[in-house]
């Protein structure tokens, strides 16, 4: 679901983010598929969005500042910076607004999920950069943070890619629960915001990135949680769960099972060796 709706500016406290009409947004989210979601163009005021774009670290800087999410069958050439002390002032301002009580209350209302709270530690979030030949396969996210007893409920992604070309890929895809049909495919264009509910059927992924060597796919990610367990909770915490797309038969039948077996063998060896 896409919108550019606005609300009266006199009551809007998030300076730099364009006002949002919560009633119009909720009406659209209520009928969205495959899970509740929305996409907003021109999410921020242009000047503020430009400031963030300009202060984003380069891909090489992100490599030094952040963590490689690991080169696996399912994920390649992606780096993330979760340490907020590394954020320049414009990006820190956005981060703080996305974590504000006002914005969390807005998300709680439009998604009908009471008492949404942000993750101040930005586990898996923050600055994301994916370079050429990078990708992130279709998956559902980890669903629980055990040490804080928090249930994963929602993702927000804001993109900072001026002059992004369609043939560069890097689209965020939302799939049906059987990963048979892609319902939405949003290019990571500048100043676009995508938010979606996370649960046991919220399959999503990023198509292969084919941008030039001189650039990268850039986004800022934040995740939201609840202390209360969701209706779908079955008591089973899990890490990220990947599924192959319909046209990835080799990956699904051979490469992913082989990788899983290798990891399992590694765990067994470590346990036996103490």
Model confidence at 269: pLDDT above 50: no
Q: What ranges make up the beta strands (E) of the chain?
A: 2-3, 37-40, 67-68, 75-81, 117-118, 126-140, 144-145, 150-159, 172-175, 182-186, 193-197, 204-206, 217-226, 241-242
What is the reported pLDDT for 268?
Answer: 44
* Residue 265 and residue 211 in one domain: no
Instruction: Please count the CA atoms within 13 angstroms of the CA of 239 that sit on its side-chain side.
Output: 2
Confidence of residue 166 (pLDDT cuts 50, 70, 90): very high
Does 102 lie in the same domain as 53? yes
Question: How much is the pLDDT for 3?
Answer: 60
Per-residue pLDDT reduced to its tens digit, 7-25: 555 689 999 999 999 999 9
Reported as a pLDDT band with limits 50, 70 and 90, residue 265 is very low
CATH code of the domain containing 196: 2.60.120.620
Same domain, 153 and 265: no
Q: Is 183 helix (H, G, I), strand (E, B) or coil?
A: strand
Same-domain status, 14 and 74: yes
User: Within this chain, do residues 268 and 154 fall inside the same structural domain, yes or no?
Assistant: no
**Confidence at residue 66, expressed as pLDDT on a 0 to 100 scale:** 83
Tell me what pLDDT residue 73 has. 75
The band of 264, judged by pLDDT with boundaries at 50, 70 and 90, is low
Reported as half-sphere exposure (CB side, CA atoms, 13 A), residue 154 has a value of 30
Say yes or no to pLDDT of 273 above 80.
Answer: no
CA–CA gap between residue 214 and residue 131 (Å, rounded): 9
Dihedral of CA atoms 57, 59, 63, 69 in degrees, nearest 10, equals 110
- Domain shared by 151 and 253, yes or no: no
The domain in which residue 274 lies consists of: 246-274
Structural domain tally of the chain? 2
For residues 236 and 262, membership in a common domain is answered with: no
pLDDT of residue 155: 99
Task: Specify whether 235 is located in the same domain as 253.
Answer: no
pLDDT at 271 over 70: no
Average pLDDT, the chain: 90
Average the pLDDT over 196-202 and give the result: 98
Q: Both tokens of residue 235?
A: 């008591």
**Sign of the dihedral through C-alpha 157, 214, 242, 262:** negative
Average pLDDT, integer, range 246-263: 60
> Are 146 and 263 part of one and the same domain?
no
- The answer, yes or no, to whether residue 46 has pLDDT greater than 80, is yes
- Same domain for 121 and 44: yes
Q: Are residues 153 and 269 in the same domain?
A: no
Which three-class secondary structure state does DSSP give residue 249? helix
- How much of the chain, in percent, has pLDDT values that exceed 70? 86
Q: Does the structure show a pLDDT above 80 at 214? A: yes
pLDDT greater than 50 at residue 69: yes
């Amino acid at each position: 679901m896409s919108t550019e709706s606005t609300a009266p500016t006199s009551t809007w406290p998030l300076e730099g983010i364009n006002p949002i009409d919560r009633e119009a947004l909720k009406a659209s989210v209520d009928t969205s598929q495959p899970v509740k979601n929305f996409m907003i163009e021109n999410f921020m005021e242009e000047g503020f969005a430009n400031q963030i774009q300009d202060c984003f670290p380069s891909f090489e800087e992100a490599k030094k500042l952040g963590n490689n999410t690991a080169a696996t069958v399912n994920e390649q050439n992606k780096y993330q910076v979760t340490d907020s002390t590394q954020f320049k002032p414009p990006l820190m301002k956005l981060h703080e607004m996305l974590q504000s009580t006002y914005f969390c209350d807005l998300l709680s209302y439009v998604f009908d999920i009471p008492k949404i709270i942000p993750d101040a530690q930005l586990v898996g979030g923050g600055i994301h950069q994916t370079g050429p030949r990078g990708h992130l396969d279709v998956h559902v996210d980890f669903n629980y943070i055990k040490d804080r007893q928090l249930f994963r409920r929602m993702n927000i992604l804001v993109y900072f890619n001026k002059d992004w070309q369609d043939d560069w890929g890097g689209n965020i895809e939302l799939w049906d629960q059987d990963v048979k049909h892609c319902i939405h495919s949003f290019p990571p264009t500048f100043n676009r915001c995508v938010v979606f509910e996370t649960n046991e059927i919220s399959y999503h992924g990023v198509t292969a990135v084919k941008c030039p060597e001189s650039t990268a796919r850039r986004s800022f990610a934040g995740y939201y949680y609840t202390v209360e367990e969701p209706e779908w909770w079955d008591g089973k915490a899990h890490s990220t769960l990947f599924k192959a797309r319909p046209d990835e038969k080799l990956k699904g039948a051979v490469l992913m099972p082989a990788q899983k077996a290798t990891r399992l063998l590694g765990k067994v060896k470590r346990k036996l060796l103490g």
